[in-house]
A and B are shown apart, each in its own frame.
Chain A
Amino acid sequence: MVRPAGSGRADGAGTKQGGGGGPATRTASRGARAERLAPYVLVAPAVLILVTLRLWPLVLGVNYSFTGDGADNGTPVGLGNYLELAGDPLFRTALRNVGLLVLLLPVAVAIPGLLATFIYLRVPGHRVYRGVYFFPAVLSPVIVGAIVNLMLGFDGPVNAALGTVGVGPVDWLGDPGIAMFTVTGVHVWATFGMALVVFLAGFSTLDASLLDAARVDGASLGQVVRHVIIPGLTRTIQFVFVTTLIGMLTSMFGLLFVMTSGGPEGSTYLPEYYIWHQQGQLNRPALASAASTVLFVVMLVVGLAQITLLRRAGRQD
């Protein structure tokens, strides 16, 4: 990763020296060597930190994932852990839930986008909304989870309110078909404030005269959004997509832990929670390493796909 850039520049310097020819003094050659080594020395701290704190543990983790647990501690088991993961319905649910999150992503981006649009278009009371919408973003997931747990309990206030309008109680966190949507919904509610701020920043770069022109031409609100705002905000929307997905895949542990503990029936497991559960609760560090490796590969694929998409979109601009 470092080699091509560094060596390329050093080679370039070398040829220039050689091309100069003539009385190549000792100081010049020493200078050339220093120049050749300088890039390596300069990147060394960064590379060392990356290698010792990131790559080496990663390699160790991958290595551990091919060893056994408990009595088999330290003995190679080949792909045993991965086969066990593939056969574990719990892990499959966790991966399926990752897929569900990716599918729900457009909704999670559309909500702050729409609300930011309304604020930008100065709906009555937009100043109040701007503050209110951002407020949940400053709460920790644990606090949000605890509050929502109380609200959504089977005999909690939400079900009581639903009862007064004649809708039967919903087991928000106890029904395996609903619980994952509940947790995701709460996560979106708790975090969309950040995306909203990013959208508002994007709006500030939007050319107001375009909006005025559209209005003068008699464009409806829908048409303004579709033909002026969305094209003007492509970059911002892409950025929000990427950050929201990362947020969903990496920071829902706290909410899951407090709200469902992976339940009911294991329906709200995410890979992260699965890894923690195997390592901390069931004492299976090697299996947890295997699950971490799978999660790493998933994140790698998702990340690369996003980079590709962004590049392609960037080229169109």
Chain B
Amino acid sequence: MQQRVLWSAVMVAALVLAGCGSAARPASPSGGPQQEQRKLVVWDWKSGEAATATYVEKVKADFAGRHPGVTVEFVAQPFDQYYTLLGTAAQSRKGPDVMLFNGGGQIRDRVDSLLPLEQHVAQDRSRLAGWDAFTKDGKIYAAPVTLQGHPIYYNKTLYEKAGLDPANPPRTWDEFVRACSAVKKATGAACLALGNKEGFGIQFFMSGLGSGILTPQEYDDWIAGKRDWSSPHVRRIFELWKEAGDKGLNSDGANSTAMFTDVFRVFESGKAAHIIGLMSDVGHWKDFGEFLPPDKLGVMRAPVVTGGATPSLPYDGGIGYAVARWTKDPELAADLVHSLTSADALAAFSSAAGAISSDTTIDVSRAGPAVAAIVPEIRTGRPALHVALSAKTLDLMGRLSQQLLSGSATVDKAVEQLAAADRAG
């Protein structure tokens, strides 16, 4: 018995001292003998959907035009498990040559396994928008396909019923709250459809309303990484979040309503007048159009909360294609990325799948009034506030936001913890 204890102790000590190897495979320089590659594998979570069939077709045609004899295989992975699968592929250094990424933290945390693309995408730089979300330390790792952002949508039918002018949505927070109480009185609908089960509600709230709360200088500093958590305006974001909950502006049961996709149904069914939604993929103009006629769906700018703030559309690169470091022929893979973001393909993607494309030169005049209201805002839009935060800080913010709503945490405590998490990186 004693011997066994001794052995375990020695074993543990050895392992502690050794601590060798690594949980993730260390990056090694790529290169080596270049073989001719006949097949490129693309991983994504989109190509399985019927709506992207035309897009995939156009991409393949465009690529085959320049590289006949090279086949492109699209492998659709389930989104729930996508990054777990990608992590496993990266560890074994075998996997797709080109892969789809969400912008922001998801790609920045994984640049170790990606190839910098600056030289390869130079020709597309001015045509496409949203590069920042795929850039880390000045290097570009993916080319954007869609733009993702957080416009505030409102239900014009509810506005009409409440005697408000649907063409003239509120411009300040006070007007916004007044409009909400008018809607509540006339129709019983809540002000904001809020789903915070996964902790995403606060991210949408922060980014959707942030440009009306922070001054332009504070906003730029925040994006640039100089985040002043002690600023009263940053604090105001969380106060407003708590206030909205306390005053009953949110739809019922926010902490148990899933953002994807229960809360979108709350808005569509007219149970709430506003929603901070998305521009691409889900929860957007096309999605809502299923129940709300296009002419009854409005898009408004963030209401001004603090004087001096200039509301703008918060958006970033949504999804984009990156090239794996382990691909055998980086030139070929990068050229496929070029095909994946060609104007023709993107036009097909945005109209069928319902997305604001990264290529702002595409004609959107037939996509309806909501899109017509969003696209002109892209020029003056700025990156969304929450995208600048690390995955870990966002995770913490999700839990704290639930505590703020349930009253088990104070704004001071939440801001303090977030500041600490943000500083830790």
Contact = CB atoms under 8 A, between A and B. Distances in A.
Interface residues of A, number: 46
A275 to B, nearest CB: 11
A90 B403 CA distance: 14
A73 B255 contact: no
A237 B199 CA distance: 41
Contact of B23 (A171, A176, A289): A289
A67 B403 contact: no
Interface string A169-195: 101111110000000000000000000
Nearest to B257: A154
Interface stretch (A9-17, A76-84, A205-213): A76-84
A60 interface: yes
5 contacts: A63-B18, A74-B26, A169-B252, A261-B197, A264-B406
B83 A280 contact: yes
Contacts of B395: 277, 281-282
B22 A279 contact: no
Contact of A154 (B19, B199, B256, B391): B256
A289 B252 CA distance: 39
Sorted from nearest, which 8 A-B pairs have the closest CB atoms?
Answer: A154-B253, A76-B19, A174-B256, A74-B22, A66-B19, A174-B255, A285-B23, A280-B84
Interface in A101-154: 152-154
Interface in B388-404: 391-392, 395, 398-399, 402-403
Nearest to A72: B22
Contacts of B26: 73-74
Nearest to A80: B19
B20 A67 contact: yes
Interface in A233-288: 260-261, 263-266, 276-277, 279-283, 285-286, 288
B404 to A, nearest CB: 10
A91 interface: no
Contacts of A169: 252-253
A176 B403 CA distance: 9
Contact of A153 (B17, B112, B256, B406): B256
A263 B255 contact: yes
A73 B22 contact: yes
Given A174-B197, A174-B255, A263 B23 contact: no
Contacts of B392: 282
A263 B26 CA distance: 33
B254 interface: yes
Interface in B1-46: 15-24, 26
Contacts of A276: 84
Contacts of A310: none
Interface in B196-225: 197-199
Interface of B: 15-24, 26, 81, 83-84, 87, 109-110, 112, 197-199, 252-257, 262, 391-392, 395, 398-399, 402-403, 406, 408
Contacts of A79: 16
Contacts of B406: 174-176, 264-265
A112 B19 CA distance: 47
Contacts of A152: 256
A265 B23 contact: no
A174 B253 contact: yes
Nearest to B398: A263
Contacts of A261: 197-198
Contacts of B399: 90, 263, 265-266
B256 to A, nearest CB: 3
Given A281-B83, A282-B395, A263 B198 contact: yes
Contact of A67 (B22, B109, B197, B252): B22
Contacts of B24: 69, 73, 285-286
A152 B187 CA distance: 25
Nearest to A78: B16
Nearest to B22: A74
A35 interface: no
B198 A286 contact: no
Contacts of B19: 63, 66-67, 75-78
A261 B16 CA distance: 33
A175 B15 CA distance: 42
